[in-house]
Structures are given as structure tokens and as C-alpha cells.
Amino acid sequence: MGTPSRAAATSCCAAGTGAQQALDRLLDVDEHVGPVTEEATRRFQRAHGLSADGVVGRHSRAAMVRAPRL
């Protein structure tokens, strides 16, 4: 699996409240893509009918921006 870009990692944590909802807890924004971020991304992707690859690509990012906020 490829490593997401720094911008994608930031997008996942900052704009990705949906990823936080998928884990049902807050995530710290540290610009590090680790196993917690990857799993949150995969859960979010599955919940929104996207390919669950753990990478915040164009479609995942768009879904995260559209996701309802807490």
C-alpha cells in the first residue's frame, strides 16, 4: 500500500470528522499516518460505500468534506 501524502493525512484528521466518528472518539492531529488513522479511514470508507484502502484519495476526501459534523 502506498503512503498517503502529508496533505492527505492532514485532510483525514482535520477535515475528516467522519473518520473520528468511525472510531467513535477524537483523533489528535499530528500529521502522522499511523495504524489508528488508517483504520479510521478504512471504517469511514466502508461506511460510505468507498473502496476501503485506508488512503484519503479524491473520493474519500470529498465524502469527508460532505460528512455531517458532530
Phi, psi of 44, rounded to the nearest 5 degrees: -60, -45
Report pLDDT digits (tens) over 19-53: 566 556 666 666 777 888 899 899 999 999 999 99
Residue 35's pLDDT is what? 87
Cα dihedral across residues 47, 50, 54, 59: positive or negative:
negative
Nearest CA among 59, 53, 28 for reference residue 39: 53
Residue 15 burial by CB count (10 A; 0-12/13-18/19+): exposed, middle or buried? Answer: middle
Which amino acid would we find at residue 33?
V
Phi-psi region of 6 (alpha: psi -120 to 50; beta: other; left: phi over 0): alpha
Judged against a pLDDT cut of 50, whether residue 1 lies above it is answered with no
